[in-house]
Chain A
Amino acid sequence: MAELAVGRERKPGSGFSQGLRRFAENRAALAGLIVLLLIALMGFIGPLVYPVNPFAIVATPMAPPGDGAPLGADYLGRDVLAGILAGARVSLFIGISATFCTAIIGTVTGSIAGYYGGKADTILMRITEFFQVLPPLLLSMVLVTLFSPSVLTVILSIGLVNWIGTARIVRAEFLRIKGEGYVLAERAMGAKNGRIIFRVILPSALPSLIVVTTLQIGIAILFAAALSFLGLTDPNVMTWGLMIGQSRPFIWQTWWAVTFPGIAIFMTVLSVSLIGDGLNEALNPRLRPR
Chain B
Amino acid sequence: MSAGKPLLSVRALRTHFPVSHRARLWAKRQVVHAVDGVDFDIMPGRTLGLVGESGSGKSTVALSILRLVRPTAGKVVFDGIGLLSLPQEEMRRLRRRLQIIFQDPYSSLNPRERVGEIVRRPLDIHSIGSARERSQRVDELFDLVGLRQAQQDLFPHQFSGGQRQRIAIARAIATFPELVVCDEPVSALDVAIQAQIINLLRRLQREFGLTYLFISHDLGVVREMCDSIAVMYFGQIVEEAPRRDLFERPLHPYTQALLSAVPKLDSDDRAPRLVLEGDPPNPIDLPKGCRFASRCPMAVARCRSEAPVLRRFGSHAVACHRVPDAEVSGEEAREFEQTLRGLS
The interface of chain B, by Cβ under 8 A from chain A, is 66, 68, 92-96, 99-100, 102, 104, 106-112, 121-122, 125-126, 155, 157-158, 160, 168, 171
Contact, CB under 8 Å: A188 / B68: yes
Give the distance to chain A from B111, nearest Cβ to Cβ, in Å: 8
Between A8, A187, A188, A200, the greatest number of chain B beta carbons within 10 A of the residue's beta carbon is seen for A188
Q: With A8-B157, A8-B158, A15-B112 given, is the CB distance from A181 to B107 under 8 Å?
A: yes
Chain A interface mostly helix, strand, loop or mixed?
A: helix
The interface of chain A, by Cβ under 8 A from chain B, is 5, 8, 11, 13-15, 180-182, 184-192, 195, 200, 203-204
**CB-CB nearest 3 A-B residue pairs:** A190-B95, A181-B107, A181-B108
Residue of B nearest to A1 (CB): B190
A8→B156 CA distance, assembly (Å): 10
Contact, CB under 8 Å: A190 / B102: no
A180→B66 CA distance, assembly (Å): 17
The residues of A that contact B66 with a CB separation of less than 8 Å are 188
Contact, CB under 8 Å: A187 / B68: yes
The residues of A that contact B125 with a CB separation of less than 8 Å are 189-192, 195
Contact, CB under 8 Å: B155 / A182: no
Contact, CB under 8 Å: B157 / A188: no
Contact, CB under 8 Å: B121 / A189: yes
A13→B157 CA distance, assembly (Å): 9
A8→B125 CA distance, assembly (Å): 30
A14→B157 CA distance, assembly (Å): 10
A4→B125 CA distance, assembly (Å): 33
Q: With A184-B68, A184-B102 given, is the CB distance from A192 to B92 under 8 Å?
A: yes
Q: With A11-B157, A190-B125, A195-B125 given, is the CB distance from A182 to B96 under 8 Å?
A: no
Contact, CB under 8 Å: B155 / A13: yes
Contact, CB under 8 Å: A180 / B99: no
Contact, CB under 8 Å: A182 / B157: no
Could you list some 9 contacts between A and B, CB below 8 A?
A182-B110, A182-B111, A185-B102, A185-B109, A190-B92, A190-B93, A190-B95, A190-B125, A192-B125
Between B93, B100, B106, the greatest number of chain A beta carbons within 10 A of the residue's beta carbon is seen for B100
A189→B112 CA distance, assembly (Å): 18
Between A8, A191, A195, A200, the greatest number of chain B beta carbons within 10 A of the residue's beta carbon is seen for A191
The residues of B that contact A203 with a CB separation of less than 8 Å are 112
A-B contacts besides A181-B107, A190-B125, A200-B110, 9 pairs, CB < 8 Å:
A8-B158, A11-B157, A185-B109, A189-B99, A190-B92, A190-B126, A191-B125, A195-B125, A204-B112
Residue of A nearest to B158 (CB): A8
The residues of B that contact A15 with a CB separation of less than 8 Å are 112
The residues of B that contact A200 with a CB separation of less than 8 Å are 110
Give the distance to chain B from A195, nearest Cβ to Cβ, in Å: 7
Contact, CB under 8 Å: A190 / B109: no
The residues of B that contact A191 with a CB separation of less than 8 Å are 121, 125
Residue of B nearest to A190 (CB): B95
The residues of A that contact B111 with a CB separation of less than 8 Å are 182
Give the distance to chain A from B109, nearest Cβ to Cβ, in Å: 6
The residues of A that contact B102 with a CB separation of less than 8 Å are 181, 184-185
A191→B121 CA distance, assembly (Å): 9
The residues of A that contact B108 with a CB separation of less than 8 Å are 181-182, 184-185
A192→B108 CA distance, assembly (Å): 18
Contact, CB under 8 Å: B99 / A188: yes
Residue of A nearest to B126 (CB): A190
Between B66, B100, B110, B121, the greatest number of chain A beta carbons within 10 A of the residue's beta carbon is seen for B110
Give the distance to chain A from B165, nearest Cβ to Cβ, in Å: 12
Give the distance to chain A from B185, nearest Cβ to Cβ, in Å: 13
A188→B97 CA distance, assembly (Å): 11
The residues of A that contact B121 with a CB separation of less than 8 Å are 186, 189, 191
Give the distance to chain A from B140, nearest Cβ to Cβ, in Å: 18
The residues of B that contact A192 with a CB separation of less than 8 Å are 92, 125
Residue of B nearest to A15 (CB): B112
Residue of B nearest to A7 (CB): B157
A21→B125 CA distance, assembly (Å): 35
A190→B155 CA distance, assembly (Å): 23
A195→B121 CA distance, assembly (Å): 11
Give the distance to chain A from B7, nearest Cβ to Cβ, in Å: 18
Contact, CB under 8 Å: A188 / B107: no
Contact, CB under 8 Å: A180 / B92: no
Residue of A nearest to B161 (CB): A4
A204→B109 CA distance, assembly (Å): 13
A277→B109 CA distance, assembly (Å): 30
Between B96, B109, B121, B168, the greatest number of chain A beta carbons within 10 A of the residue's beta carbon is seen for B121
Contact, CB under 8 Å: B110 / A190: no
The residues of A that contact B106 with a CB separation of less than 8 Å are 181
Q: With A8-B157, A11-B157, A182-B110 given, is the CB distance from A189 to B95 under 8 Å?
A: yes
Contact, CB under 8 Å: A180 / B107: yes
Residue of B nearest to A187 (CB): B68
A255→B107 CA distance, assembly (Å): 60
A13→B68 CA distance, assembly (Å): 32
Give the distance to chain B from A5, nearest Cβ to Cβ, in Å: 8
The residues of A that contact B94 with a CB separation of less than 8 Å are 190
A246→B157 CA distance, assembly (Å): 59
The residues of A that contact B93 with a CB separation of less than 8 Å are 190
Give the distance to chain B from A203, nearest Cβ to Cβ, in Å: 6
A182→B111 CA distance, assembly (Å): 9
A202→B184 CA distance, assembly (Å): 29
Residue of B nearest to A10 (CB): B157
Between A13, A185, A186, A191, the greatest number of chain B beta carbons within 10 A of the residue's beta carbon is seen for A185
Contact, CB under 8 Å: B109 / A188: no
Contact, CB under 8 Å: A188 / B95: yes
Give the distance to chain B from A83, nearest Cβ to Cβ, in Å: 47
Contact, CB under 8 Å: A190 / B157: no
Tell which of A11, A182, A186 touches B107, judged by Cβ atoms closer than 8 Å.
A182
A200→B171 CA distance, assembly (Å): 16
